[in-house]
Chain A
């Protein structure tokens, strides 16, 4: 427990003097155009949270319309069919590309990678800054689409042609192009960021940190960045083709003129499915860090998880067409993709078992981050298992585009993007801001988020199997879908959503009050092993002004027999 922080003196630290925080930075240098990876991480984090509020608000507006058709939604007003379409489209797009990606990969990646591998910054700080600036520009563009003539794009987040390429169909001549340009710019931003993450983790590790000493979350973010990088190319090319189709008049995706709309679906899902794992893996990594610290046990099967993650990554490139079973694809290919889809549940299930094995026999402390991590395992399991129903092509024909699909992927994305993020944010909050969060408020926020979450999406499974189709503005037009019990479930989901959104006020209140006046955290409040906990909280520019640490052992040496304390920091000489 003593705070004697051993300092490594690797040979490459010799020129450290000229880098420390001895020069005064202007406000602009520090907060607006920072080069420091931690500040860029915070920019990503808060931009992501801002976008999450917007995405959540959209969800509120269209769920109100579904529960109480035709009402004046407080804060939005009357939801027209066109509004409804752009709301659902942009809810999906924003939540995946402007919330899950920036927070889980960019914010945590930027914050954790240099700190956890014992480096003073990213290898390319200026490219890092550029990455955020492009990302911010893309966020401005996607939101600006709401204020141009015709409004924001409403052709669903998958943007299938011809709906997405013909203004006479989607009625958003400018919004459609704003959408695809914003998405393409966002990809460019994450390509730049991803190269930074990968090279930093490969090249800038602390002296002594070998392959198997890298904390799991760093591995996961790096694997996710690689997956992103190898899958996004075809869609970037497809995006350019789509812009040409929309604005130049080419016909890449128009069968009437020799193109092929299914080509876009392949280009989209060849990226779109690995993308699920791009955001899943960082969340899985965060959970690994949290559960080892709070069960005071070594991570069960470090290498197993790693190989599993890599295997999942490779397999994720072979499953994409399970999104297209009813698109008229070749039925023989549907067989192949069914088999690969069912196969990919194996490594993910293995990962969950490994986590449960880590918990087994540990001395578990139910802190707020731990609650989030445990609920991640629980909720994600529901999402994973319902995926098997959809992966089987025969079954998918009946469930395709129903609320069963919608509930399924919310049961995967929500644990990833919201629960995983809260687990990480509450866990590293003391490091980020130097103060402890209020645990009582944190737990209240946890329960008021997770219980309503289940009450939103469990009814939607039922509605989906009853035949409720997605992307329908008003179910009262369909007598079969407007039965009283169905409308009751819709109201339940909407009310739960409002409760869940309201509960986030507790979170923001907790963050602000803890940031201002929470108890000081100290360097290592959770008695954790990894290197970021050896820096001061919050770490200064350059992270370890007194000299960068050296690594002596793996990250999960908890409760080692024969040691007085139950943890063994990575930088403590043997």
Chain B
């Protein structure tokens, strides 16, 4: 199987590239609807699909021994683990005997609908 996969004609790769470009167009236009779940879906769902296509069709991960897939999956799982262990602390603006004053102030200003605080206005 792996040998015949290598014999893909140029048109096969161009087709993949065209699909990737269509996906790119969708992921850019999706957020223009300004519906949050559509944005998240088109932005990150499509990023996942694109990454999968590049990994399979360009990097030929399906033609390498299975453990490579396991290895890549393992790294991703460990990153999820890192996220799960770290986020409960980092995603809070205050906790046991501490608080993040700058963050609390910025969020309060944002909630009050104050004008953008981009540095260009300073």
Contact = CB atoms under 8 A, between A and B. Distances in A.
Assess A/B contact in the complex (Cβ within 8 A): yes
A321 B74 contact: no
B89 A266 contact: yes
A270 B85 contact: yes
A260 B78 contact: no
A320 interface: yes
B109 to A, nearest CB: 12
Interface in A235-293: 255-258, 260, 262-263, 266-267, 270
Contacts of B95: 328-330
Interface stretch (B18-26, B42-50, B98-106): B98-106
Interface in A305-330: 317-318, 320-321, 328-330
A328 B103 CA distance: 17
A468 B63 CA distance: 59
Given A256-B101, A317-B81, A330 B90 contact: no
A318 B82 contact: no
A255 B93 CA distance: 10
Contacts of A263: 86, 89-90
Interface residues of A, number: 24
Contacts of B85: 266, 270, 318, 320-321, 333, 337
A512 interface: no
B119 interface: no
B70 to A, nearest CB: 12
Contacts of A266: 82, 85-86, 89-90
Interface string B71-93: 00011001001100110111010
A219 to B, nearest CB: 16
A563 interface: no
A234 interface: yes
A260 B90 contact: yes
Contact of A330 (B78, B88, B103): B88
Contact of B96 (A231, A257, A328): A328
Contacts of A328: 89, 95-98
A332 interface: yes
B89 A258 contact: no
B8 to A, nearest CB: 27
A70 interface: no
A162 to B, nearest CB: 12
A234 B89 CA distance: 16
A230 to B, nearest CB: 6
A330 B87 CA distance: 10
Contacts of A330: 88-89, 92, 95
Given A260-B90, A320-B85, A329-B89, A255 B101 contact: yes
Nearest to A266: B86
A331 interface: yes
B90 A262 contact: yes
A102 B103 CA distance: 42
A318 B86 contact: no
A234 B83 CA distance: 11
B103 A258 contact: yes
Contacts of B78: 230-231, 317
Contacts of B88: 329-330, 332-333
Interface in B55-73: none
Contacts of B96: 328-329, 331
B105 to A, nearest CB: 9
Interface in A188-209: none
A230 B102 contact: no
Contacts of A320: 85
Interface of B: 74-75, 78, 81-82, 85-86, 88-90, 92, 95-103, 106
Given A320-B85, A330-B92, A331-B96, 17 more contacts: A230-B78, A231-B78, A255-B98, A255-B99, A255-B101, A255-B102, A256-B102, A258-B106, A260-B90, A263-B89, A266-B82, A266-B85, A266-B90, A317-B78, A328-B89, A329-B96, A330-B95
